[in-house]
Amino acid sequence: MNMIRIAKSFFGGIFGLLLTMQGISAGDFPLFPPIGPLPPVTFPADNPQTEAKVELGKKLYFDPRLSGNNWISCATCHNPVFGFTDGLPRALGGPASKEGGRHSPTVINAAYNEFQFWDGRAATLEEQALGPIQNPNEMCETLDNVVRKLSGIPDYVKAFQEVFGTGVTADGIAKAIAAFERTVIYANSPFDRYMQGDVRALSESAKRGMDLFQGKAECIKCHNGPNFTDNKFHNIGVPADGPLKEDLGRYNVTMNDTDKGAFKTPTLRNVAETGPYMHNGYFPTLFEVVQFYNGGGGRSENKSPDIHGLNLTGQEVGDLIEFMKALTGEMVRITYQSAPLAFPKVPVGF
């Protein structure tokens, strides 16, 4: 066993070195898609990207009139100020701002997700965008009402005509918001700069953390590829917390018993800015997260066999955290704009 590990280490190390020279990294687990720089964003054929569409999507993203009480926008829970999430364990929402069951996922780099939502029930950003609008625990509005409201706002009507050649439609709303979200890409993290040759971009601690990530701590088994996620669903035994006493996660979508309590592997890019952590925001800081894995995760019938105790030392815990902090990219530059005005309007004939 020891010899095999040595050989694996050796060849893994050589392979890793070769991969590192190409700007990608695989550590001890060369069979997983290596971590490395993100490829360019891809755009769906039925939603080509244009500047006008992105501008419209940005207006919609920041507009609370998409909600029932005209007070909650996408940006409320996916707030640029908090890494495009809200800094809360579980989102607040609905007409009385009650706590929901799950932590708001980040919009940063969501363009790379194969699935949206913790249970992966939406395949695209377009599908996701209309979900919270209609959820009574979130924005609590009907699509008909949103269309009606926006249709009374001349600058929106004009923008939809220009971008889609139609009036205001739910489909257009979804496409425009998705187009804007495809610009919310944080690139050029210290990790990326290191992988592109800047050997000083990572501290010594973060470099040790990177090795642990791909080695002893085994994070790369799920957090792999350029976006640090395998886009799969795993049950790691996170304890229940908040109003949902039991959250079956992916099972709700597939009805597959083995998916009970399984949740999507989130990206770790920008993880330092997008806490609290896990589907229900159970862990306030990365320290608790790493200690959770160190101790072998939680208890659950369906728990993944890949999760087991790690025997990390205190320094190794700290090094992993330093590496994860190095996954924070540069914030995209977004400037506040005035919302399209519904008023003042002078009735026709005056």
- Residues in touch with a second copy (CB under 8 A): 62-65, 69-71, 76, 79-83, 86-88, 92, 95-98, 272-273, 275-276, 284-287, 314-315, 317-318, 321, 324-325, 331, 333-339, 341, 343-347, 349-350
Length, in residues, of the chain:
350
Give whichever of 39 and 314 is closer to a second copy, judged by the CB atom.
314
Least Cβ distance, residue 10 to a second copy (angstroms):
31
Task: With H, G, I as helix, E, B as strand and everything else as coil, classify residue 314.
Answer: helix
Least Cβ distance, residue 71 to a second copy (angstroms):
5
Using the structure block, give the residue that is written with the tokens 């929901």.
100
Cα-Cα end-to-end distance for the chain:
88
Using the structure block, give the residue that is written with the tokens 């330093």.
322
Task: With H, G, I as helix, E, B as strand and everything else as coil, classify residue 145.
Answer: helix
Dihedral angle at the C-alpha atoms of 38, 39, 44, 45, nearest 10 degrees? 170
Dihedral angle at the C-alpha atoms of 169, 86, 107, 174, nearest 10 degrees? -10
Least Cβ distance, residue 224 to a second copy (angstroms):
21
Active site residues: 138
Least Cβ distance, residue 286 to a second copy (angstroms):
4
Distance from C-alpha of 249 to C-alpha of 206, rounded to nearest angstrom: 33
Structural tokens at position 36: 């490395």
Give whichever of 35 and 312 is closer to a second copy, judged by the CB atom.
312
Give whichever of 16 and 340 is closer to a second copy, judged by the CB atom.
340
Tell me which residue of 9, 186, 221, 212 sits closest to 202, measured CA to CA: 212
Distance from C-alpha of 11 to C-alpha of 4, rounded to nearest angstrom: 10
Least Cβ distance, residue 320 to a second copy (angstroms):
10
Task: With H, G, I as helix, E, B as strand and everything else as coil, classify residue 17.
Answer: helix
